[in-house]
Structure 1
Amino acid sequence: MADLQDEPLQSPGTDVGPGCLGSDDLAAPGAAPGALDRAMELLSEHPVADGCNTLVWTLRQSPYHDIDTPDLGVDTDIPRLRAGGVGAQFWSLLTPSEAPACDQVVSDTLEQIDVALSLVRRYPDSLCLALTPDDMVDARNRGRIAAFLGPVPGRTLSGSLGALRAFHALGVRALAPAGAPWAREGLTVFGHEVVKEMNRLGMLVDLAGCPSAVACQLAGASKAPVIISNTGAAALNPRPGNVTDEVLLALRAAGGLAMVTFDTERTGDSLHAVADHVDHVRALAGPNGVGLGAAFGAEPGSPRPAGLTDPSGYPRLVAELLERGWTEPDLALLTWGNAQRVLRDAEFTARAAQHRRPA
């Protein structure tokens, strides 16, 4: 599973460099020039696999953005993704507030999938739909950003594993159980079947937003590693959505992955504060259990930590962690290796399960 031992690969984009950074310039606090140079070099080989971007929802509301050029109407565009060294992106298919009617949730989710697929088709020279971990590496080799779809909300299943298989056929590779009746206060019998079928299909279970007890139960029930696509450390800031130490330890035991968000309310108002959350998650979940899921994709005005207002700030965070004593191998795990490993483990689990469990 050691993708870090793959042959040397190309940069995620030809225009990654100090001159291409976005709204956060190199003079921002915490961006020592020497460390920044090392960060840029590391990201050219081990780019960021970001666990959460909400641009799909934003584009549904404002469909006229052209993300192939710098766009002040959103915080995510292809130039800033490339400047930040992003090589893989999970496009969240959740909506800010779910409709009360289950059929409307399904309809909204299908529309989200349609917008996401249209986004990938519109920018074929920069984005590449990814269904497998090999697709992730292939996109990186070809200088494109691997686009994974998901998560979708768990409420969409409404008692149907067929709906889960249909989402998988459409390209979805993650589902978030939070708020679903089958995982609200603990896994029901149907909930256990959902997890088994996700393992069989190779879909990731995303624990974002789940209560701690339910998250621990899901981590233990899944044969494949689970993820938390965007979170902070509750021990540092006990805001809703941040993960407790108990869950981080459960992730470590299950080989899971917690991906730290860049959200002022959850992870503080500075790059230094975000780095504190990354340090804490690594200390509890282990070097193999920490990743990045910034949750960019919003329209301007969303609160973001200074220095991390858009994807171009990733090199600055890596530079800060270098100055804190992180080794380059551990940073390569943080940015790329841990996400790649989780996807490969899910694929391996699916292959084994398909021999034992029919659809």
Structure 2
Amino acid sequence: MADLQDEPQSVGIGAEDLPAAAHAAAGALDRAAALLSVHPVVDGCNTLVWTLRQSPYHDIDTPDTGVDTDIPRLRAGGVGAQFWSLLVPSTDDQVVSDTLEQIDVARALIRRYPDSLSLALSADDMADARNRGRIASFLGPVPGRTLKDSLSPLRAFHTLGVRILAPAGASWAREELTPFGHEVVREANRLAVLLDLTGCTPEVACQLAGASKAPVVISNTAAAALTPHPGNVPDEVLLALREAHGLVMVAFDIARTGDSLHAVADHLDHVRAVAGPHSVGLGAAFGIEPRAPRPTGLTDPSGYPRLIAELLERGWSEADLALLTWGNAWRVLRDAEFTARAAHHKQPAP
């Protein structure tokens, strides 16, 4: 290769003419894009399914200013797997029927875009979707309120493809984990259904993390030590998730994390420091219509590379970033499946 000094001088501005900070930022963004091409983002929370129920005319194959999620922006952000939230704001007498409708809408969404979305039921499905250039699509969480005094709805949801259950708001996980709540945990473990502790009180979250033989997750939250918001978790819960080899997924929400990409990165730094690099993930909670206020730089899924670049500049290793984006979520799903297989060997289903 010829020496750069032998090359003709350009009349434009070259990379060497950029300010040092801008040059470093461009380099970090390139590194982020390269990392995401191998270790794409597993996003723990997107509420688009509920939005599509209210506005079924949206075509997510093309950009739409009415929502913050579509396939082009998921692709631009390097999203390789998505947990599609099926939570509903229904009264208890309608929660089961509304949840079933949510499942129906989610499955229809995945069928409608077969070249981009792929229904995922396992960690292997997640890896297979990535290898085929699809976004692995997990169904859940569904509300724990659907299980009043019977495990049958949980089994039915599992048959329909649901792989995540949210205990928050359920009578069996409100102030403490009741005896029936312990049955729910055992059955979820047997079915390889993840427990999503988002919205649980710190006491119940710690009880659930301790009772579950499989890792638990918190699909969208932030650090209460930095922002004392009701949806954020205190360090005691972060430590419980670390002990349980679980996963804490940080949301992009001005009220919970602050109004900038840098503030979100601060929360990720804190969660990694307390829960450990093997227990931190991303759960942006996009998909709301009309758009909720988002931190600057993270207004939709296409902002993920900018966040990864920021973390690179803060000194995160590429190995830890690969855990943040993909590895930790894949490991939690795989460990839940190992736990389920062990349970099947011990005793048959009731």
TM-score grouping bracket, smaller chain normalisation = over 0.9
Change (3 A) 1:338 1:139: same
Q: Secondary structure at the match of 2:64?
A: coil
1:67 alignment counterpart: 60
Task: Tell me the CA shift for residue 358 of structure 1.
Answer: 2.4
Task: Find the partner of 2:25 among 32, 40, 49.
Answer: 32
Deviates more, 1:137-146 or 1:31-40: 31-40
Matched to 1:246, the amino acid is E
Tell me which amino acid in the other structure corresponds to 2:31. Answer: R
Identity %: 80
Residue of structure 2 equivalent to 1:48: 41
2:136 is aligned with 1:143: no
Mapped partners of 2:114, 2:291: distance in 1: 29
Compute the displacement of 1:329 (Å): 0.3
Q: Does 1:77 align with 2:63?
A: no
More displaced 10-residue stretch of structure 1: 155-164 or 165-174: 155-164
Counterpart in the other structure of 2:325 = 335
CA distance 1:48–1:30, shift in 2 (3 Å): farther
On the 8 A contact 1:30/1:272 being kept in 2, the answer is no
- Distance in 1, matches of 2:221 and 2:347, equals 33
- Superposition map of 1:91-240 within 5 A: 91-95=84-88, 97-99=89-91, 102-240=92-230
- The structure whose RCO (Cα within 8 Å, separation 6+) is larger is 1
Post-superposition Cα deviations, 1:136-162, rounded to whole Å, max 9, x if no partner, equal: 000000000000000000000111111
Change (3 A) 1:143 1:31: farther
Q: Match for 1:293: what amino acid?
A: G
The residue that corresponds to 1:255 in the other structure is 245
What SS is found at the alignment partner of 2:94? Answer: helix
CA contact (8 A) 1:31 1:320 kept: no
Give the whole-Å Cα distance in 2 for the aligned partners of 1:254 and 1:324. Answer: 27
Aligned to 2:15: none
Deviation at 1:298, TM superposition (A): 1.1
1:306-357 CA-to-partner distances (Å, cap 9, x unmatched) read 0000000000000000000000000000000000000000000000001113
Instruction: Report the alpha carbon displacement of residue 73 of structure 1 after superposing the two structures with TM.
Output: 1.2
Partner secondary structure for residue 337 of structure 2? helix
CA separation of 1:320/1:231 partners in 2, compared to 1, >3 Å: closer, same or farther? Answer: same
Which consecutive unaligned segments of at least 5 residues does structure 1 have? 1-28
SS at match of 1:32: helix
Residue 30 of structure 1, CA deviation: 12
Cα offset for 1:31?
Answer: 8.9
2:281 alignment partner, SS class? strand
CA RMSD of aligned residues (A): 1.2
What stretches of structure 1 move > 3 A for 4+ residues in a row? none
CA deviation after TM superposition for structure 1 residue 300, in Å: 3.9
Following TM superposition, by how much is the alpha carbon of 1:98 offset from its aligned partner in structure 2, in angstroms? 3.0
The 8 Å contact of residues 30 and 320 in structure 1, kept in 2 or not, is answered as no
Cα displacement string for residues 164-220 of structure 1 (whole angstroms, at most 9, x for unaligned residues): 100000000000000100010111111000000000000000000000000000000
Q: Which has the higher mean CA deviation after the structures are superposed, 281-290 or 295-304?
A: 295-304
Structure exhibiting the larger radius of gyration computed from Cα positions: 2
1:287·1:330 contact (CA, 8 Å) conserved in 2? yes
Q: Report the Cα distance in structure 1 between the residues aligned to 2:111 and 2:34, rounded to whole angstroms.
A: 30
Q: For residues 9-59 of structure 1, give each alpha carbon's deviation from its aligned partner in whole angstroms, at most 9, with x where no partner exists.
A: xxxxxxxxxxxxxxxxxxxx9991110000000000000000000000000
Question: Structure 1 251/318 Cα, relative in aligned 2: closer, same or farther at 3 Å?
Answer: same
Task: Measure the CA separation in 1 of the matches of 2:269 and 2:23.
Answer: 16
Amino acid of the structure 2 residue aligned with 1:66: D
SS in 2 for 1:181: coil
User: 2:285 is aligned with what amino acid?
Assistant: A
Q: Any unmatched runs of 5+ in structure 2?
A: 1-21
